[in-house]
Amino acid sequence: MSTLDFDQIVALDAEHVMGTYARLPVAFVRGDGTRLYDVDGREYLDFLGGLAVVSLGHAHPEITAAVAQQAATLVHVSNLYYNAVQPQVAATLDRLLGGDGRVFFANSGAEANECAIKLARRHGQLHGGPERYHVVSAYGSFHGRTLTTLAATGQPQKHEAFQPLPSGFRHVAFADCDALEVALDERVCAVLLEPVQGEGGVHPAPPGYLEAVRRLCDEREALLILDEVQTGLGRTGRWFGFEHADGVRPDVVTMAKALGNGMPIGACWARAGVAASFRPGDHASTFGGQPLAARAALATLEVMERDDVPARAERAGERLTKRLLALRGVTDVRGPGLLVAAQLAADVDAGVVARRCLDAGLVINAVTPTALRFAPPLLVTDDEIDRAVALLEQVLDEVMNG
Ligand code: PLP
């Protein structure tokens, strides 16, 4: 591999990579914990964590060692055969989710949701007849970019360029139980929700909502699928975002982002009785759950359990929230644990602030035009939180003083 400078990277990218991302002007080449380093050796505090992915921090020594050892042993075998790592990850996830479930492994969040939607359709049609295949999700949601998960995503502006999308998807207002009740007819096989709408602006489900959705799903014989791709595995201060609700047990849970601490792996967990609707040949993935990615996931889960990482995320989130609330220009802070959005005063452009923060050495993102998102590694230290907030304070002062 050649060593390229920043301008060479940008030129090569412009010429050969599809233009689907409006990239910011930095190329990262190395990471260490909560720090990132660009191609010129400049250090940044990473308060985005690869978008809620690198939950144990960059280059965590135990994950690196596990991946290196597995890479030197066996990277890949077909899912036509057993591998020794995949069922251990499945067993751990199943235990964390309360047991009596089965897991399908994919490579991303969208694929985990694709699996959940196919499973719900199969289950609905087997138990409720050929018309029971509709999925209800919420406006403002984000479930992925494949055609099916895009159809489930409740952001009509993202649909426009890709019509016709697969049929069988309906949307209701998030947190509106009456609207959900109306939408849940006998043709609905599942309700698909995020416990905290992440991409939609970091909007947590209000108290009582998931409990009410669970009751409605039971009444109408619809499955409750929770998309924990962004919220899962400690991010919100609990293992899963739904654990903030009282006694809610979903039928299906999807995960990805944090599962491999950066190695691409996604998972769809379902209650055993639901998972049984899939037969051999109904769903598959060449790479899903291959030994290398699965080993990263196993090591990640081991460290998270041993070090009680969700509890650390909860404590760090409280500190971050408190510090952010004290800043001039921040009108509100929302989100549990370390999935946090700072709402800015109406005249402050979050895109401009995020860009200036990057220049100042702090990686965050504008999740809406007026809100900043923070999703740092869950092992972030108090000192790193204080330094990040001090950088943001400086930038906000500069922006607000014109
Ligand atoms: N679901 C949620 C809640 C997400 O936040 C995302 C990505 O941001 C996805 C699904 C899609 O995941 P991926 O980009 O890995 O396909």
Rounded to an integer, what distance in angstroms lies between the CA atom of residue 55 and that of residue 60? 10
Rounded to an integer, what distance in angstroms lies between the CA atom of residue 238 and that of residue 233? 7
**Among 339, 135, 310, 378, residue whose Cα is nearest residue 231:** 339
Ligand 1 atom nearest the C-alpha of 197 is 3
Written as one letter, the residue type at 388 is: A
Write down the H helix ranges in 309-349. Answer: 309-325
Averaged pLDDT, 231-260: 98
Distance 164 CA to ligand 1 centre (A): 22
Please enumerate in sequence order all residues whose Cβ is within 8 A of that of 150, keeping only pairs 6 or more positions apart, or say none.
143, 144, 158, 159, 162, 165
Distance from CA of residue 261 to its chain's centroid? 12
Q: For residue 402, is pLDDT > 90?
A: no
Residue 224: predicted pLDDT: 98
Distance from CA of residue 160 to its chain's centroid? 24
Distance 189 CA to ligand 1 centre (A): 22
Q: For residue 28, is pLDDT > 90?
A: yes
If one residue of 107, 230, 252 were mutated to test the ligand 1 pocket, choosing by the most ligand atoms within 8 A of its CB, it would be 230
Written as one letter, the residue type at 264 is: P
If one residue of 21, 48, 107, 143 were mutated to test the ligand 1 pocket, choosing by the most ligand atoms within 8 A of its CB, it would be 143
Measured by CA distance, the residue closest to atom 14 of ligand 1 is 109
From the options 3.40.50.150, 3.40.190.10, 3.40.640.10, 3.40.50.620, give the CATH code of 74-307: 3.40.640.10
142 is catalytic: yes
- Quote the percentage of the chain above a pLDDT of 90: 99
Which two structure tokens, joined as six digits, stand for 188? 């609905």
Q: For residue 220, is pLDDT > 90?
A: yes
For residue 373, the 8-state DSSP code is: E
Rounded to an integer, what distance in angstroms lies between the CA atom of residue 366 and that of residue 354? 6
Looking up tokens 């080449």 gives 29
Rounded to an integer, what distance in angstroms lies between the CA atom of residue 317 and that of residue 345? 22
Decide whether any atom of ligand 1 lies within 6 Å of the 200 Cβ: no
The domain locations on the chain are: 6-60+308-400, 74-307
pTM for the full model? 0.98
Greatest CA separation found in the chain?
63
Q: For residue 2, is pLDDT > 90?
A: no
Rounded to an integer, what distance in angstroms lies between the CA atom of residue 55 and that of residue 294? 16
Q: For residue 171, is pLDDT > 90?
A: yes
Decide whether any atom of ligand 1 lies within 6 Å of the 228 Cβ: no
Looking up tokens 């969700």 gives 310
Ligand 1 atom nearest the C-alpha of 113 is 10
Averaged pLDDT, 185-212: 98
For 317-337, write each residue's pLDDT tens digit: 999 999 999 999 999 999 999
Which helix (H) or strand (E) element contains residue 189?
strand 188-193
Instruction: Judge whether 23 and 13 are in contact, CB under 8 Å.
Output: yes
352 φ, ψ (degrees, to nearest 5)? -65, -45
Distance 110 CA to ligand 1 centre (A): 6
Averaged pLDDT, 288-306: 98
- Quote the percentage of the chain above a pLDDT of 70: 100
3-class DSSP state for residue 210? helix
Going by CATH, does the domain composed of 6-60+308-400 fall within 3.90.1150.200? no
Written as one letter, the residue type at 386 is: D
Q: For residue 263, is pLDDT > 90?
A: yes
Distance 199 CA to ligand 1 centre (A): 8
Question: What DSSP string runs through 81-114?
Answer: S--SSHHHHHHHHHHHTTSSEEEEEESSHHHHHH
Averaged pLDDT, 256-264: 98
397 is catalytic: no
- Catalytic residue selected from 227, 240, 251, 374: 227
- Residue 276: which pLDDT band, with cuts at 50, 70 and 90? very high
214 φ, ψ (degrees, to nearest 5)? -60, -45
Decide whether any atom of ligand 1 lies within 6 Å of the 114 Cβ: no
**Strands 362-363 and 43-46, how do they pair?**
parallel
Averaged pLDDT, 240-257: 98
